Structure 1
């Protein structure tokens, strides 16, 4: 068994197609199929169930895939550590970003990082703060930019607050409240709301504000991504509350929506999060570009599952 065979297995498992897996691995399909078949003979189990139209992992394949990914990650880390010992940062850096990130200009940050460390392969992943934190804990991500309700810390990871922000009310340009100097939650509780999906940190910021005020509202439209919310508001389907740093640049270019300051609206923090256990050289290099120390807090160790 060797690492290349493991890479082939992972590629087939992720594409569920031998042809696409071979293209990803830059090898002819017959060679990839032959190596996987040889591995199956060595292991004495079938990793994939194959037909002319389908490829699926067997139960043995599912079990093998976990260890294969761990082995490949360890091998990549060994190469990166060896390079780092000579002063060269190599390897992979997986970065998670919420769409509403405003505290850091992520494209500019990545440009500065590339200029300093051109041998690092950077992968970006967008998602909700909760799923990004979970991905850091499992090793799928190295670092992430989050948005959380004020006073909340992401569990099981190192984190640093980057900025504080207040939400503003977003209404259609023709809404009666458009142009108001400011409003309180009790003045808008009867409105129909557009918001993020229930159960996400982005939604929790607004839910907690209304709960703290002793108010209950109607959320008629739930959106899985932030860009859709102002578009729904512009069509008169409801009002919304969004972080000011995110929505102000969009509103400045969109005459169909208007922003109104909130007296007692939600507040959020933007945070940087990374693994508290043995950050990779590429992660440490990104923290250096950000001017952040990678030294964990006293008592910090690997997060428990």
Structure 2
């Protein structure tokens, strides 16, 4: 099995289209098709279901994709490790992050990293914390900044960056704002909530706190953008439970402490693979983060 066959297979799986994958790889479409057919012959099974509009993975293809990505990530890490020993950091840094993460200024950190290591290509993806953890564990991301979603494992470890309480945001004319007192989940049982999708860290933290308190809540307005969430609360369409640092993003809103909830803590972490699998670029970024306190 040749590495280029795996590279071609992964590209087609990502693009779900032979022409687009060929253009990205800068190879001929006929050459790409021949490479995939050779891989299918070697494995003795089709890897794609082909239609006139796109291609989709078969069950065998889905199984291969996970392993192919892991193999290619290992090969890339090997090349980068040798370059690092020779005193040159190059290759690719694939990083993921949630929106408006606390404890790290991602843009400033990446800018400082690029100044120090201009030969490293930076790739950035933004997802929810659950997806980020899966991507790092699978080797598709070198590291990610996210909400702590699980305990450490053989494939995933976490480095704590900051811990902060959750805060209730509401419109100044809302009854909670007029009372001006800290609130408990029980005080919010009948409220309309604005919140993120379930994979996001703030949503996970809030869901855990309300579940621990035995209080059901209904998220009527669900989205995946911080500023849209603040806009909806600013129009008095609902309240939101968010990490405390969000209160500085919209000074017109009233922020109230959420009490009696030991689970309502938002811990930001850097998610990394096991030490032996951590890329030189990821280690350099974490060293820079520690040095500059970005």
Same fold (TM over 0.5): yes
Tell whether the 8 Å contact from 2:169 to 2:247 is kept in structure 1 after alignment: no
* Aligned ranges 1:120-269 → 2 under 5 Å: 120-148=120-148, 154-156=151-153, 157-178=156-177, 181-185=180-184, 186-198=186-198, 201-210=201-210, 214=213, 216-221=215-220, 223-227=222-226, 228-245=228-245, 247-252=246-251, 255=252, 257-264=253-260, 266-269=264-267
64-73 or 133-142, larger mean C-alpha shift: 64-73
The CA deviation at 1:250 is: 2.0
Tell whether the 8 Å contact from 1:80 to 1:89 is kept in structure 2 after alignment: yes
User: Which position in structure 2 is the counterpart of 1:283?
Assistant: 282
- After superposition, the C-alpha distances for 1:128-163 in whole angstroms (9 at most, x for unaligned) are 223322322222222121224xxx864323322212
Tell whether the 8 Å contact from 1:96 to 1:124 is kept in structure 2 after alignment: yes
User: Which position in structure 1 is the counterpart of 2:82?
Assistant: 82
Structure 1 stretches lacking a partner, 5+ long: 293-305
The CA deviation at 1:38 is: 4.3
User: Which position in structure 1 is the counterpart of 2:271?
Assistant: 273
Cα distance in 2 between the residues matched to 1:39 and 1:153:
37
Tell whether the 8 Å contact from 1:194 to 1:219 is kept in structure 2 after alignment: no
Tell whether the 8 Å contact from 1:163 to 1:271 is kept in structure 2 after alignment: yes
User: Normalization by structure 2: what TM-score?
Assistant: 0.82
Cα distance in 2 between the residues matched to 1:65 and 1:191:
44
Structure in which a larger fraction of residues adopt helix: 2
User: Which position in structure 2 is the counterpart of 1:100?
Assistant: 100
Q: Give the length in aligned residue pairs.
A: 284
Cα distance in 1 between the residues matched to 2:41 and 2:183:
69
User: Normalization by structure 1: what TM-score?
Assistant: 0.80
Provide the alpha-carbon RMSD of the alignment.
2.9
Residues 272, 119 of structure 1: alpha-carbon distance in 2 compared, 3 angstrom cutoff: same
138-147 or 217-226, larger mean C-alpha shift: 217-226
